[in-house]
A and B are shown apart, each in its own frame.
Chain A
Amino acid sequence: MGKVIVVTSGKGGVGKTTSTANLGTALALIGKTVVVIDADVGLRNLDVVMGLESRIVYTSMDVIENRCELSRALVKDKRVEGLMLLAASQKNNKDDIQPEQMKAICTELRATHDFVLVDSPAGIESGFRNAAAGAEEALVITTPDVSAIRDADRITGLLQHEGVEPINLVLNRLSPEMVRKGNMVSQSDVVGLLNLKLIGVVPEDREVIASTNRGIPLVHNKNSPGAQAYMRIAKRLTGQRIPIPELREKGFFSNILDWFSGNK
């Protein structure tokens, strides 16, 4: 019996879709069977971030309206064995799906897969409620800015109210340099403010944009700091105990090395 985990945030644009694509890929790379579900009906994006947009034939709406079996609606990933995507319909809107219907899909999928990750839309309305309906656990994504942290706390309250447990925190786009200069709240500040267990910190990484441009999730680029952060989170999700270090700035020396290896 697998786990259903909703990836959510409250505030938009903080990295839910990026995190779902990368954690799904990372879990599959370490041998787990994974389905990632795009629950952002009407504004789907997970397909393009994973580079699967040209392969989509059916969506969750087709499954709900009985036009297609669930197993046939799953799109196989191009690169990793054991990873599948269930796309969202672009022609419908968030209210066209009921929480019960999402729950039924999640229940069916968890019977045959190790992990089901649900990419939630922004907001606290019906789209979020649908995404969370079938989930027993949650990953709350936040960036280190005031409004994202505030909304993360709000969404945490709603998830707790629904009995979702555990709720783990992913701190995305942290810049150690800005923290040092006093222009960004730190990892320990965020943990102190939110009543959540931190499961990982993903640095600000320009490779994220390049990988989205190509439709190849960052974790395939094993040298990037963002990829390594996502791999560690995936391992923690499988129960491995890996300590979470405070992110450090790159030293002068590693910057020079990057420069010579064309990593800049």
Chain B
Amino acid sequence: MNLRRLFGRQPKSSSVARERLRLVISQDRFDVDEESMRRLQAELMQVLSKHFDFHVDEVRMSLKQRGNSYVLTADFPNVNANKQA
């Protein structure tokens, strides 16, 4: 258990700002708007749901700049093999 969380301490607003900016700036530069990201996420979930079970509201996607390139990360925690597959 994280001590900070135990005492209800929130992360500093400056580090929240930094992370949010990192994300929104790389999306702006990449010219991907939130709507397209949402659509991409929906399509990915559709494909993956044919093979795996997962919790829809746990899925996280992000696009980040690393050096001069971009890294697209899709996080599907707690996947289980799909019974029907």
Residues of chain A at the chain B interface (Cβ within 8 Å) = 145-146, 149-150, 153-154, 157, 179, 181-186, 189, 193-194
Contact = CB atoms under 8 A, between A and B. Distances in A.
A184 B15 CA distance: 9
Nearest to A180: B14
A142 to B, nearest CB: 11
Interface residues of B, number: 13
A151 B5 CA distance: 33
Contacts of B59: none
A237 B29 CA distance: 28
Contact of B25 (A145, A150, A182): A150
Interface SS of B by simple majority? helix
Contact of A183 (B12, B20, B25): B12
Given A182-B14, A183-B14, A189-B18, A157 B25 contact: no
A246 to B, nearest CB: 14
A183 B13 contact: yes
Nearest to A154: B28
B85 interface: no
A193 B25 contact: yes
B22 interface: yes
Nearest to A152: B25
A185 B24 contact: no
A153 B18 contact: no
B21 interface: yes
Given A182-B12, A183-B12, A146 B17 contact: yes
Nearest to B25: A153
Given A149-B21, A153-B25, 15 more contacts: A145-B17, A146-B20, A150-B24, A150-B28, A153-B29, A154-B28, A157-B28, A179-B14, A182-B12, A182-B13, A182-B15, A183-B12, A186-B14, A193-B18, A193-B21
A27 to B, nearest CB: 31
A225 to B, nearest CB: 21
Contacts of B13: 182-183
Contacts of B29: 153, 157
Contacts of A149: 21, 25
- Closest 10 interchain pairs by CB? A182-B12, A153-B25, A182-B14, A185-B14, A189-B18, A185-B17, A146-B17, A193-B21, A183-B13, A185-B18
Contacts of A150: 21, 24-25, 28
A182 B13 CA distance: 6
Contacts of B15: 182
26 contacts: A146-B17, A146-B20, A146-B21, A149-B25, A150-B21, A150-B25, A150-B28, A153-B25, A153-B29, A154-B28, A157-B28, A157-B29, A181-B12, A182-B13, A182-B14, A182-B15, A183-B12, A183-B14, A184-B14, A185-B14, A185-B17, A185-B18, A185-B21, A189-B18, A193-B25, A194-B25
A175 B12 CA distance: 16
Nearest to B20: A146
Interface string B1-25: 0000000000011110110111011
